[in-house]
Structure 1
Amino acid sequence: MAGPPLSASATEGAARAEAVLGRLQLLVTRKLDGLLQGDYVGLLPGPGTEAGESREYRPGDDVRRMDWPVTARTTLPHVRQTVADRELETWLAIDLSASLDFGTARWLKRDLVIAAATAMAHLTVRGGNRIGAVVGTGSGVPPKSRKKTAGEPLTQPMVRMPARPGRKEAQGLLRAIARTQIRPGRTDLGALIDALNRPPRRRGVAVVISDFMAPVDDWARPLRKLGVRHDVLAVEVVDPRELELPDVGVIELADPETGILHEVQTADAKLRTRYAQAAAEQRGAIARALRAGGAAHLRLRTDTDWLLDVVRFVAAQRHARTRGTTR
């Protein structure tokens, strides 16, 4: 059954999303193909879940893989090696709340979200590996500065896209994400992350892509719960204006999630200093919460080469794995 016709703005947004996605896929293919070794390598390569042989414990090994029967027989600590699964399942939790529709440099934060999802799909979808997504699109409640018009529907706050194997299905998933319309209101990031915990799935890779601007207490516990069973990667999307203010005189700022307007005198050096300090504290709290949740942390900025950041991150993760360490 055909859906309702798209408005002019929605059609223009969909065309832009297709163009951005096409460019991103070309960039990712050229840059990341050289990092892939074998058909079953994911972004966070590591041991599988199938039991293998045992070996002596070495500093840096995961103590959860201790082989206690062998340790008791030999009186030396041993760990159980595992064989990588033949099929990897990756789930993306993608935050597309109103705060992501912002950018003052080379990219919008929304574009970086799509870029990160494209890179994750390219790195994980091989040899029957499956990838799915849960997308948060805001609460659907209009900002306080705009009243809801008659007949205007509330958006569905969360969209689940089932995990399917194959590159064609992955491309369709990315296209659906890119065409998702950002709605007013704030996504419940905690609920979005928790959606990856239900229903329970076998061990795999969980990728959370967001600016993590929601209060840390709202999402820290679901993230820790997610990390108990899955390898978790947190991709934090940041714009430089969220870290410091330029000296450009009086500017009017609007909260994209609430519509509240603020007039700011950026010529005030003390105000710029307080802003930078508060932003640093906020980002520090986010980093600590991600680390406490056991997540690998990748930060992408709208004013830097995000693809180079991804390449460096993947290389560092694999180097750490080969040295027998975790994160």
Structure 2
Amino acid sequence: MARGVWMSPGFPPAGSAFDDARAELVLRRLQLLITRKLDGLLQGDYLGLLPGPGTEAGESREYRPGDDVRRMDWPVTARTLVPHVRRTVADRELETWLAVDLSASLDFGTACCLKRDLAVAAAAAITHLTVRGGNRIGAVVGTGDTRVRLPARTGRKEANGLLRQIAGTPAKAGRDDLGALVDLLNRPPRRRGMAVVISDFLAPVESWARPMRKLAVRHDVLAVEVLDPRELDLPDVGVIAFVEPETGQMHEVQTADRRLRERYAAAAATQRAAIAGAIRGAGAAHLRLRTDSDWMLDIVRFVAAQRHARTRGTTR
């Protein structure tokens, strides 16, 4: 069995659909995993997966290379003649919005689960880790040409209802507009909070890069990229029939052709580099989850790296 995405704690086998009973079972097991394991590993004076600086003023400390110059404490700097920056305290009430892409391209997986399952797990992790303390969480969900807004509410009961609606969203044929989905988080304008975009980001980069940059001007943004190993390279297994899930087009590919596999891997690497570059250019944090990897461990490593960067005074 491939190391992985916790098949036993609740993911349905790759290729099966989320019916109501199975979705309820999966979400309950995910809640136990997240609250018992992730919550225990990620305890601290942070809200959610991004250890953001907050907005409430705190104490000052000496400036270190990499600190955000916008946080310079000029009165203390003038008095001491030594550059100081103002620390900030994590906000006690955080509003988090999820943009969850559940287009047909996420109904694909060749390892421990579908990419759709992984997107639901990521949404569950963010929800359960941010909903405490009176925080509000809402979502916009896109599938095909349909986009649904789920209003932000407080409380675990409402958060569980939000996750049930996300998990129960039926897949639809057609290509989703990721840029339009992200742009729903920009309207109406809200106070500074956390925005999370969960997608495989296979839509053209130019369609969503600008809305992502606009979103990051006002909010701390986290991009959760879900992918399958077969999107990075092809195995040598002879002729494979591929069906494009969003259009239904079928192509037969001879994977025994070494040059074809090399071209595919090179094109996939270029595509992923462009996605990572656009996310980085927007000023968003980037979490990559794979269907053949331990998603909980990946989240813990991501948060540890973010906290380490904050401790050193860098912005990302």
Structure-2-length-normalised TM-score: 0.90
Tell me which residue corresponds to 1:138: 144
Inter-CA distance 38–301: structure 2 relative to 1 (3 Å threshold): closer
1:59-100 deviation line (CA, Å, top 9, x unaligned): 121122223455456554332322322201111110000000
Q: 2:48 aligns with which of 39, 42, 45?
A: 42
**Aligned pair count?**
301
Tell me which residue corresponds to 1:187: 176
Deviates most, 67-76 or 274-283: 67-76
Pair 1:308 & 2:314 matched: no
What letter corresponds to residue 231 of structure 2 in structure 1? E
CA distance in 2, matches of 1:76, 1:11: 61
Q: CA deviation at 1:246?
A: 1.1
CA distance in 2, matches of 1:221, 1:169: 32
Q: Summarize the alignment of residues 248-263 of structure 1 with structure 2, pairs less than 5 Å apart.
A: 248-263=237-252
Q: CA deviation at 1:287?
A: 0.7
Inter-CA distance 83–39: structure 2 relative to 1 (3 Å threshold): closer
CA distance in 2, matches of 1:190, 1:62: 29
Q: CA deviation at 1:42?
A: 2.2
Tell me which residue corresponds to 2:9: none
Question: Residue 163 of structure 2: SS of its match in structure 1?
Answer: helix
Tell me which residue corresponds to 1:99: 105
Q: CA deviation at 1:274?
A: 0.6
Inter-CA distance 33–54: structure 2 relative to 1 (3 Å threshold): closer
Q: 1:197 aligns with which of 186, 190, 201?
A: 186
What letter corresponds to residue 132 of structure 2 in structure 1? R
Inter-CA distance 36–309: structure 2 relative to 1 (3 Å threshold): closer
What letter corresponds to residue 111 of structure 2 in structure 1? A
Question: Residue 44 of structure 1: SS of its match in structure 2?
Answer: coil
Tell me which residue corresponds to 2:205: 216
Q: CA deviation at 1:165?
A: 1.0
Mapped contact 1:39–1:127 kept (Cα < 8 A)? no
What letter corresponds to residue 99 of structure 1 in structure 2? S
Question: Residue 171 of structure 1: SS of its match in structure 2?
Answer: helix
Q: CA-atom RMSD, angstroms?
A: 1.9
Pair 1:51 & 2:57 matched: yes
Q: CA deviation at 1:52?
A: 3.4
Inter-CA distance 318–40: structure 2 relative to 1 (3 Å threshold): closer
Tell me which residue corresponds to 1:21: 27
Tell me which residue corresponds to 1:273: 262
1:107-138 deviation line (CA, Å, top 9, x unaligned): 10000000000110121111101111111111
| Structure 1: gaps spanning 5 or more residues | 1-9, 140-156
Q: CA deviation at 1:18?
A: 2.3
1:236-283 deviation line (CA, Å, top 9, x unaligned): 000111111111111111110111111111111111111011001100
Tell me which residue corresponds to 1:110: 116
CA distance in 2, matches of 1:197, 1:106: 34
Question: Residue 245 of structure 2: SS of its match in structure 1?
Answer: coil
Inter-CA distance 40–243: structure 2 relative to 1 (3 Å threshold): closer
Structure-1-length-normalised TM-score: 0.87
Q: CA deviation at 1:55?
A: 3.5
Question: Residue 19 of structure 2: SS of its match in structure 1?
Answer: helix
Mapped contact 2:47–2:90 kept (Cα < 8 A)? no
Q: 1:244 aligns with which of 233, 238, 256?
A: 233
| Structure 2: gaps spanning 5 or more residues | 1-15
Q: CA deviation at 1:319?
A: 2.2
What letter corresponds to residue 186 of structure 2 in structure 1? N
1:6-49 deviation line (CA, Å, top 9, x unaligned): xxxx9972333223222322222221121343576221123221
What letter corresponds to residue 64 of structure 1 in structure 2? R
CA distance in 2, matches of 1:257, 1:301: 21
Question: Residue 158 of structure 1: SS of its match in structure 2?
Answer: strand
Deviates most, 67-76 or 28-37: 67-76
CA distance in 2, matches of 1:74, 1:40: 30
Mapped contact 1:20–1:111 kept (Cα < 8 A)? no
Question: Residue 112 of structure 2: SS of its match in structure 1?
Answer: coil
